Amino acid sequence: MKEFIKIQDKNLFLLNVEILGINEAQLWIGPSPDGPLDNDDQRVLNDRERHRENPERRISGIEAVDLTVSEKFPGWFEVDTSAWVSGIYRFNIHSKSGVEAPNGTPLRTIRDGEYS
């Protein structure tokens, strides 16, 4: 894989589908490179539940965005950031629930064990 990520435009970046080797994925986005404290499973589960109840809070906890291969940019997932508040983010790309990705790594935490 030559490139993992491409910045396409001010509100659009692309992720190479070869990262996982599948055509559908989820991008998990966190609000900063240092947090939230991912080692506290129960706190993260509680934060996700609060986010579902109050969806106008954008990227305030970990959020999962479904990705499919782009029609405009074959071989890439498109990520539109126009709804994101300015700031620094961190992200992980995962297969969808119950799908093992050829290039993925099995996760071992309670909350994420079904992803790769």
Handedness of CA 30, 32, 34, 40 (dihedral sign): negative
Whole-model pTM: value is 0.69
Q: How sure is the predictor about 82, in pLDDT bands with cuts at 50, 70 and 90?
A: confident
| pLDDT at residue 111, as a whole number | 54
When pLDDT is averaged across residues 70-88 and rounded to a whole number, the result is: 89
Task: Concatenate the DSSP letters of all residues of 47-85 into one string.
Answer: HHHHHHH-TTSTTSS-EEEEEEB-SSSTTEEEEE-TTSP
Is 48 within 8 Å of 26 (Cβ atoms)?
no
Q: Is 18 helix (H, G, I), strand (E, B) or coil?
A: helix
pLDDT higher than threshold 70 for residue 64: yes
Is 16 within 8 Å of 75 (Cβ atoms)?
yes
pLDDT higher than threshold 90 for residue 59: no
